[in-house]
Structure 1
Amino acid sequence: MTISLIAAVARNDVIGRDGQMPWDLPADLEYFRRVTMGRPVIVGRKTYEAIGQMLDGRRVFVLTRDEGFRCDDCTVVHDVVDALIYTGMIGGEVFVAGGAEVYEQFLPLAERLYITRIDADFGGDTRFPTVFWEDWREISREKGPRDERNLYDHWYIVYERKGAFGAKARGAKGKGRPGQRRPAKSGRPGTGARRNR
């Protein structure tokens, strides 16, 4: 089983505002659908309530502390261990799709990150957790479309964890934004032709 986090992240690390994404980017929603279709998806309760209607065609696991929460089209789990047991029985690649607390819980277990990096800053109350980028290498990058329906430059970037499973706590060193450039000696993923952040 491979655990992968998938998220759209603004240039200033914002991923949400008032329980919603603070941008309208249909191309990213289509990318999310294409990448996760047919795969198990783990989300928190608030994320499920916000995007649950868009998760058809996938086996959905809702991680919540609310013992009374029920849903007709998902499996409810109450901790990370339960989520791993249920998704482990399915196997393959398992996607974690938010929100922030769920990302933070699964980040130490993740082997891949699918980051849609949006080249704009947004106001918001939810941010993607800190990633120690020296633990990761970029394995693919695709420029998303910018047109009348998709008003922001954005890139679909996939990272894979280097070496041994599991990240080590390293304090402040290595913190940064997904796709942000760092001096070459640090080993942090760069942004190709994009300007430094």
Structure 2
Amino acid sequence: MSVIGAQEALERLREGNRRFASDASGSEAATSTSRRRELAAGQSPFAIILGCSDSRVPAEIIFDQGLGELFVIRVAGNIVAPSQIGSVEFAAERYGTRLVVVLGHSNCGAILTTIEELGRAPDHRHRNLGSIVNRIKPSVQSLLDTGLIEDHDALVRHSVRTNIRMSVGHLRTGSAVLEHLIADEGLMVVGAEYSLETGLVEFFDT
């Protein structure tokens, strides 16, 4: 059973983010001892957030949500790999959650690192970053042949959004389970970008 529909969940996130950005957060009751005890028996998250691991972008805080309300998956660069797809499938099927948000953010360090790595000779690249850089690379590579290469800040901004949209696309079309839930069960997968400067989240592809 779905907790709430995708559109209602989306509006709940928007409202929570507006509270956070205006310093009017009100999730204290949702982190209380009684709430913790209530959740010991189970959970019903109303949204799944696939976000970046950046310490400045904790989903529960920027959406002003408490315990048990969000199923959060965090990885540098909000990339989509098999383990992330499996985690989304798990939450969407087990808990009936009908909204998935791929949450990127301005000035993403993983995007900056990818741009730096692509500027290095192959034998000078960091091997252990490859699993992340290689998944972000197509988002950046598609922009390097444009005039954006002359404007680093613009290149980063566009790369962040392209990377978010690419991750959204992977979730929408890279899993038979999620494709079924999208087509038949009302699952919605959307992209969003959090501004480190303003605290606001902009949703797109909704």
TM-score for the superposition, normalised by structure 1: 0.31
Greater gyration radius:
2
Q: Which structure carries more strand by proportion?
A: 1
Greater relative CO, 1 or 2 (CA 8 Å, sep 6+): 1
